[in-house]
Amino acid sequence: MKKKFKKIKIIAIIFLGGILSTVSIGFVDNYFEISKNLDIFATLFREVNIYYVDKTNPGSLIEKSIEGMLGSLDPYTVYIPESEIEDHQFTITGQYGGIGALIRKKGDHIIIAEPYEGFPAHKAGLIAGDVLLEVDGVKIEGKNTGDVSKVLKGQKGSPVKLLMKREGEPKPFELNLIRDEIVINSVPYYGMLNDHIGYVMLNSFTDNAFEEVKKALLKMKENKELHGVILDMRGNPGGLLREAVNIVNLFVEKGHANSSNQI
């Protein structure tokens, strides 16, 4: 009996050793493959930058390489460069470093569409309709809102100098602002349209969108018999999937597309 047990034990050890060896060999092979291809890429990248007939842009080549690699996987694996971190942070959290104003294009000019109350642009006296001429000495006439937004955004506490023009005033005026952390609520407004229908403006699906929508619904139900809600998502650029799903769950029961859920 002991010999049989010993034999089984030896077989088990050999079997386990075989598994570990296979895993180890697989890991080594995979590591070797990665290392080899990284070496090939580095060599090719160096050769192209040294010997290509025209001058190359190393940063652009690397970025295109990364985009090509991730593009071969799926639509949801993406690379976010440092220059777009502020925009990404705003999409996820509703927060960014900037002057706190909505801008839009009017002809060849960029104008202030809405200064957010309590933030640098509003505190400095900017009003809707003010025309933005320069940012830190750089003329912005003809540029799009995306390009201008990038130069207006920056780290909290960093300075930015604006040259503005206002209708009715003969000369442009300068403003020196200090960027602040701008926090935009996902639900900037809600209220009752009548005794039974509520209205919720949902600007984005940022980190706290679900809680803001839920709070608005509960508040409207305090003194009114709420029969329906208009959820206004015009201009909503999207955001976090989990927040969108959680908001849907406020109105739709699990597995019932047409049933309302009580909160």
SS3 (DSSP) at 54: coil
Considering the domain boundaries, does residue 84 fall inside one?
A: no
The rounded distance, in Å, linking the Cα atoms of 125 and 128 is 10
Residue 240 neighbours by CB distance under 10 Å: 18
Number of structural domains, the chain?
3
Residues 162 and 112 placed together within one structural domain of the fold: yes
Choose from 113-117, 161-165, 253-257 the range with maximum mean pLDDT. Answer: 161-165
Residues 151 and 127 placed together within one structural domain of the fold: yes
Considering the domain boundaries, does residue 258 fall inside one?
A: no
- Of residues 61, 147, 156, the one with CA closest to residue 110: 147
Residues 65 and 139 placed together within one structural domain of the fold: no
| Tens digit of each residue's pLDDT (9 = 90 or more) over 186-212 | 898 899 998 889 999 998 888 889 999
Residues 106 and 176 placed together within one structural domain of the fold: yes
Residues 12 and 49 placed together within one structural domain of the fold: yes
Considering the domain boundaries, does residue 78 fall inside one?
A: no
The answer to whether the CB of 165 falls within 8 A of the CB of 131 is yes
Domain of 163: which CATH number? 2.30.42.10
Considering the domain boundaries, does residue 257 fall inside one?
A: no
Considering the domain boundaries, does residue 54 fall inside one?
A: yes
Residue 3 has pLDDT above 60, yes or no: no
Residues 96 and 140 placed together within one structural domain of the fold: yes
- Of residues 153, 150, 145, the one with CA closest to residue 109: 145
Q: Which of 152, 167, 183 is the last residue of a domain?
A: 183
| Tens digit of each residue's pLDDT (9 = 90 or more) over 50-79 | 888 888 888 888 888 888 888 888 877 777
| Tens digit of each residue's pLDDT (9 = 90 or more) over 17-44 | 555 555 455 555 677 788 888 888 889 8
Residue 12 has pLDDT above 60, yes or no: no
Considering the domain boundaries, does residue 50 fall inside one?
A: yes
Residues 223 and 139 placed together within one structural domain of the fold: no
Specify the pTM: 0.52
For 19, the domain range is: 2-71
| Tens digit of each residue's pLDDT (9 = 90 or more) over 213-252 | 999 999 998 877 888 899 999 878 788 888 999 999 988 8
Residues 168 and 235 placed together within one structural domain of the fold: no
Considering the domain boundaries, does residue 110 fall inside one?
A: yes
Q: What pLDDT score does 166 carry? A: 93
The rounded distance, in Å, linking the Cα atoms of 238 and 214 is 18
Q: What pLDDT score does 225 carry? A: 83
Q: What pLDDT score does 17 carry? A: 56
Residue 47 has pLDDT above 80, yes or no: yes
Residue 82 has pLDDT above 70, yes or no: no
Quote the mean pLDDT of the chain: 81
Considering the domain boundaries, does residue 13 fall inside one?
A: yes
Residues 143 and 225 placed together within one structural domain of the fold: no
Q: What pLDDT score does 93 carry? A: 59
Who's near 192: CB < 8 A, 6+ residues apart?
A: 198, 199, 220, 224
Q: Which of 22, 38, 71 is the last residue of a domain?
A: 71
Residues 124 and 166 placed together within one structural domain of the fold: yes
